[in-house]
Amino acid sequence: MRRPHFMRKLQDEVRSIIPRGQEIVNEADMNNMVYLRAVIKESLRLYPVAPLLAPHLAMADCTIHGYMVPAGTRVVVNAWAVGRDSSSWEDAEEFIPERFTDEGNATNVNFKGNDFQFLPFGAGRRICPGINLGIANVELMLANLMNHFDWELPVGVERKDIDMTEVFGLTVRRKEKLLLIPKSCM
Ligand code: HEM
């Protein structure tokens, strides 16, 4: 809602793939939704659901970038900060889904745990086992919302008024609920 051109681009993609009149977007329709995937990745980069992942425990002594981590140390990984690190991400604080498409320089960066600059599901043996289920649900939900509706702000609310403040905890959530008006376009 703060960047309508991204939403328009996303809606154009979804609506170009889904035949007019098809009520529900389903999994088989998702294959070519390249931009939708990029939007979800960019959202998870800036707003990872579990900003500090889950606490881990070092099982053996190890040295990371010159820092000695003794066995038994509780390790907390700040995935939120990792996703906003300007040494890994150009214009790190900006929402730019194109960075994950062919146009961008993070085209091949994925959340499967091999790209340590992007860890919304963690990495290693404790990586989230629900990645595929979680992503499939987000993709389907977003694709359906984009296909069925045009979205507007309530009367009197402007784009600049949208409060993106987050409340941190085990999971992160919006401080203020996002209230939007759906206009059916089916
Ligand atoms: C978009 C949706 C989801 C996100 C962003 C997410 C994120 C995460 C993260 C960050 C972790 C911690 C990984 C680590 O510490 O390295 C985790 C762990 C876990 N997730 Fe998810 N998750 C999602 C969906 C799901 C779903 C759908 C399930 C189950 C059906 C699930 C089950 C689990 C379990 C069991 C763990 C603990 C794994 C372990 O400690 O060995 N997650 N998830």
User: Could you tell me the pLDDT band of residue 21, with boundaries at 50, 70 and 90?
Assistant: confident
pLDDT of residue 127: 97
Q: Which residue owns the Cα nearest ligand 1 atom 37? A: 128
Q: Determine the average pLDDT of the residues in 158-180.
A: 94
For residue 103, what are the domain limits?
A: 4-184
pLDDT, residue 185, reads 81
Residue type present at position 45: R
Is the pLDDT confidence value at 69 over 90? yes
Q: pLDDT digits over 105-129, tens only?
A: 999 999 999 999 999 999 999 999 9
So what's the pLDDT on residue 65?
92
pTM, 2 dp? 0.95
What does the mean pLDDT of the chain come to? Answer: 96
What is the per-residue pLDDT for 184?
85
> Hey, which of 111, 112, 121 would you mutate to test ligand 1's pocket, going by the most ligand atoms within 8 Å of its Cβ?
121
CATH number, domain containing residue 104: 1.10.630.10
User: 68 CA distance to ligand 1 centroid (A)?
Assistant: 28
Residue 6 has pLDDT above 80, yes or no: yes
Provide the domain count of the chain. 1
Q: Answer for the pair 53, 77: CB distance below 8 angstroms, yes or no.
A: yes
User: 128 a known binding residue?
Assistant: yes
Q: What is the pLDDT of residue 51?
A: 96
| Three-point CA angle 104, 110, 113, nearest 5° | 150
Instruction: Report yes or no: 53 and 113 within 8 Å, Cβ to Cβ.
Output: no
Kindly state the percentage of the chain with pLDDT values over 90: 96
Q: What is the mean pLDDT of the segment spanning 169-185?
A: 93
